[in-house]
């Protein structure tokens, strides 16, 4: 039996200007369907993916389709907020607040790292 590999997915692009952050979550969900534990770090503007106000997000229809699965599967999100006011977040997700240091540690301990 093969050992499981831990995965860290880092999303740092702004989902209001690029479709890549939503695509990153779609990929994360696919990876979470396997045996490998995954943690998703949302850094800076990527925190908007879990905000209550998602009207400006590129590919919002896709995001709305996949977010309930993240909630159901309790996939952990670590948020590193940008400077300034923090957006109000949706409830129901496994969220902790992290730091750049916690992201660095998670990256160094992970078997696989994906960055968007």
In a domain, 66, yes or no: yes
Residue 52's CATH number: 3.40.1260.10
Domains of the chain: total: 1
What confidence tens digit (pLDDT) does each residue in 21-65 have? Answer: 999 999 999 998 878 899 999 999 999 999 999 889 999 999 999
- Full residue range of the structural domain in which residue 41 is found: 7-115
CA distances from 114 to 7, 52, 76, 83, 85 (A): 8, 26, 15, 24, 27
In a domain, 44, yes or no: yes
In a domain, 2, yes or no: no
The model's pTM is 0.93
């Amino acid at each position: 039996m093969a050992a499981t590999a831990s995965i860290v997915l880092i999303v740092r692009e702004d989902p209001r200007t690029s479709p890549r952050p939503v695509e990153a979550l779609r990929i994360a969900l696919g990876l979470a369907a396997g045996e490998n534990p995954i943690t998703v770090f949302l850094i800076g503007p990527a925190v908007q993916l879990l905000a209550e106000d998602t009207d400006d997000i590129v590919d919002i229809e896709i995001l709305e389709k996949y977010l309930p699965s993240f909630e159901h599967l309790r996939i952990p999100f670590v948020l590193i907020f940008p400077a300034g006011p923090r957006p109000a977040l949706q409830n129901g997700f496994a969220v902790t607040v992290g730091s750049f240091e916690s992201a660095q540690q998670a990256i160094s301990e992970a078997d696989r790292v994906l960055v968007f």
